[in-house]
Amino acid sequence: MEKTVSEAIAYRRSCRVYKKEPISTEKVKQCLQNAVLAPTSSNLQLWEFYHISDKEILKKMTKACLYQNAAKSAQQLIVVVVRKDLWRKRVKANLNYIDQTYNKPNLSKREQNRKNMATNYYKKIIPFAYFEFLGILGILKYVVFQIVGLFGPIYRQVRKSDMRIVAHKTAGLAAQNFMISMAAIGYDTCPMEGTDTLRIKQILNIPRSAEINMVIGCGIRDEKGIYGSRFRIPFEEVYHYV
């Protein structure tokens, strides 16, 4: 029986040793379909997911994951990839969607305003935020926005490094959707950051302009796979009610 959201969150642990028991590739794929429903900045969806079950590639990935147990014993692996370099392609996809959505005669004034606002956003705001040249434009934008910000509220994260953070945050949200979905059906995961990202790109033929967000080990937990009880900083220490 599938767990509720709260049950799945409570069940999810970073599992570092998995049983030698196969898991369904199709079910893992369904969990990835849940991943792409995660919130994404400006709906750009600057992510890709590499789903690995081939035994030979899993062996190569284990080495690239520095022989971590969570990779070594995993039945399958998911590589979450950030594709900030595809922002132009994603802008075009959003513009096509807007055109299809409002492709009807006699649009109301409200609908026309929404179409114009969305179109201008993707044609003007997004290129302004994402277009870069050797990092120089980002610095200039940052200085200008800080000056304008002296006179009123303004979005300040406009440097190349800021946009990378935005893309990685989005990918992280998708990864969490995936891991909670896996927990809901009794499958276990472990997100790994300690990896040789260059080797992973070579193994999977991922473009150099892409970035590895994390590698997620997948399987069914062995009793040795959960390293101790869960520890969290007291809630009162991190919760601020204003």
The confidence score (pLDDT) of residue 230 equals: 94
| Strand-pair partners of 54 | none
Domain range summary for the chain, segments of one domain joined by +: 5-84+171-229
When computed from its CA atoms, the radius of gyration of the chain, rounded to whole angstroms, is 21
The confidence score (pLDDT) of residue 36 equals: 98
H or E segment and range at residue 120:
helix 109-120
Question: Which SS3 state, helix, strand or coil, does residue 212 take?
Answer: strand
Give the pair of three-digit tokens for residue 155: 């979005």
The confidence score (pLDDT) of residue 98 equals: 97
Residues of the chain with pLDDT under 50: none
Annotate 152-183 with b (16+ C-beta within 10 A) or e (fewer): eeeeeebbbeebeebbbebbbbbbebbbbbbb
Hey, how many other C-beta atoms are within 10 angstroms of the C-beta on 3? 16
The confidence score (pLDDT) of residue 154 equals: 75
d(CA 64, CA 190): 16
pLDDT tens-digit readout, 129-139: 888 877 677 78
CB-count burial class (<10 Å; 0-12, 13-18, 19+) for 60: middle
CB 82 within 8 A of CB 46: yes
Give the pair of three-digit tokens for residue 76: 């399958």
Annotate 8-47 with b (16+ C-beta within 10 A) or e (fewer): beeebbbbbbbbeeebeeeebeebbeebeebebebebbbb
The confidence score (pLDDT) of residue 226 equals: 95
Q: State the angle between helix axes of 55-64 and 197-204 in degrees (0 to 180), rounded to the nearest 10.
A: 160
Fold designation for 5-84+171-229: NADH Oxidase (3.40.109)
